[in-house]
Amino acid sequence: MTDTPNILWITTDQQRFDTIGAHGNPAINTPNLDRLAAEGLSFMRTYCQAPICTPSRASFMTGRYPASHHVHRNGNDHWPAAEKILPAILKETTEYTTGLIGKHHLSRSEDRIELIPEDGYDVAELSDCWPIGRDYDAWLKHKHGIGDPLTLYPELLSKAPRDYGPGLPMALQQSTWWAERAAAFIEDHKDGPWFLNLNAVDPHPPFFPPQEFLDRYTPEEMPLPLFRDSDIARQEEFWDIDQQWKKIQDVRHYDPAEDIDQSQTPLEDRNLFDFPPDTYDARMVKACYYAMIEMVDDRIGAVLKALEDSGQSENTIVIFTSDHGEMMGDHGMLYKGCRFFEGLVHVPLIIRWPGVTAPGTQTDALVELVDLAPTILDIAGVDLPYTMQGRPLTDLLTGAAETHKPHVVCEFNEALAGMPYQSHGTMVFDGRYKTCMYHDAGKAEIFDLQEDPGEFVSLWDKPGFEREQIRLLKLHLDAVMATSDAGIERTGNY
């Protein structure tokens, strides 16, 4: 074993910031993430750089913003040749053995095998978007005798109201596959040092957890989404903005400001989403989503045990995060799109660095996923590339700093295919005020998260707020412009 720390980077897909028990959610069971939080540092205000998969992953793998790497969309035809991702840099500059298990998703994977860039991984065992999975498919075939994975799903789909309900048994889940393969990688490379990207597909929809995990949640006890009647008119106003789920009806949900007890209200009147041609039960959807997260947590526990059993736990930095969040019914929306509500852009981040991070600590410093690649390079002793835009979190990890950035930036740029509108939006959040600009759509929002943490009331055009609005718009413009590429490095005066 080497003194150079191993690095295990676990990324889930579409997991909200508020889905960890130790971070204040009593309705979800996440004992292994709770343990990581108890042993490491929790970053309580971490934001993604795009509220959708591929642009977000491109940002945290390059340490660069979408405006610079130009990977704006899900379904990009190819990865730009000039962009270098983290493991490729590690391979060029260190002795790390690099591995990827799970989802890559840096370019189009629909109807074809994703075109993998020169990514620097020594070991890569891949799964594409549900339900096709490449190495996962091979595992199903060779371990479980399932020749065609697509045969697993028709029965599930026929029983589900749409895309939520009981899923495959635990033995066949992708989470079981990646946990097994991660444990094997850890055992095979215990002489170290190694870097392992563990990219889970879950809890991305469809929300199909194993029945054994779904049984742990009672839908009637699930907290309802953030919703007020005013959200109906608000979403109608934003109807021409990209969103995967946009049909708004008269739904009645929990408003934390009013703390209304709706336990005696008939089910059909209090937690139904109208999504033609099917009807969504908001509490059942959340139960399925939470069950999927607990399933992932369970398999993370298996990977952490593999670290311990191989004697590597004390020499391994563990990073846990997600690529973006999930609306989960808040304000009348599911899934993701060109909006910047907390449920979608605010993500979990926990880092456990044995002997360095103070156990069980939290920081409210504003940080971004774009900071992760430079953090890992800094830990590995690698000089940051001139083009890298994120900032290392090392001083926060060591306790040498309490703040990190004055603001965070998120961008959505025509990222969804098959939508009636193509939207371009940007968000800047300074820790209190969040400005959201929908370019070419003539729309904007400003939220004061100190006074309105549920983001129910936009201050855009509020009488008497004009001076503050101008200040925030200048900040927004400066922050977004700063995400553009620095260009070619200057080496002379002329």
| Distance in angstroms (rounded) separating the CA atoms of residues 54 and 73 | 6
Q: For residue 367, is pLDDT > 70?
A: yes
Element (H, E) at 144: helix 135-144
Q: 395 falls in which pLDDT band (50, 70, 90)?
A: very high
Q: What angle do CA 213, 217, 222 make, to 5 degrees?
A: 145
Q: Tens of pLDDT along 21-40?
A: 999 999 999 999 999 999 99
pTM: 0.92
Sheet holding 443-448, edge to edge: 408-413, 424-429, 433-439, 443-448
Range name among 66-75, 314-323, 395-404 with the lowest pLDDT average:
66-75
pLDDT averaged over every residue in the chain: 88
Q: E-strand spans in 369-460? A: 408-413, 424-429, 433-439, 443-448
Q: Tens of pLDDT along 86-136?
A: 999 999 999 999 999 998 888 777 777 676 667 889 998 988 654 455 888
* Mean pLDDT, residues 336-346: 96
Neighbours of 91 (CB within 10 A): 18
Residue 393 neighbours by CB under 8 Å, 6+ apart:
43, 351, 367, 371, 372, 375, 404
| Distance in angstroms (rounded) separating the CA atoms of residues 86 and 100 | 12
Name the nearest CA neighbour of 196 among 320, 296, 59, 31: 320
Name the nearest CA neighbour of 33 among 493, 347, 440, 310: 347
Backbone angles phi, psi at 368, to 5 degrees: -130, 155
Element (H, E) at 198: strand 194-199
pLDDT of residue 414: 87
Q: 137 falls in which pLDDT band (50, 70, 90)?
A: confident
Residue 151 neighbours by CB under 8 Å, 6+ apart:
none
| Distance in angstroms (rounded) separating the CA atoms of residues 197 and 88 | 13
pLDDT of residue 276: 31
Cis? peptide before 166, omega within 30° of 0: no
Q: Distance from first CA to last CA of the chain, Å, rounded?
A: 50
Q: Tens of pLDDT along 401-423?
A: 999 999 999 999 987 877 767 89
Q: Tens of pLDDT along 227-279?
A: 888 888 888 888 889 888 754 333 333 444 554 444 344 333 433 334 333 34
Range name among 149-163, 196-210, 316-330 with the lowest pLDDT average:
149-163
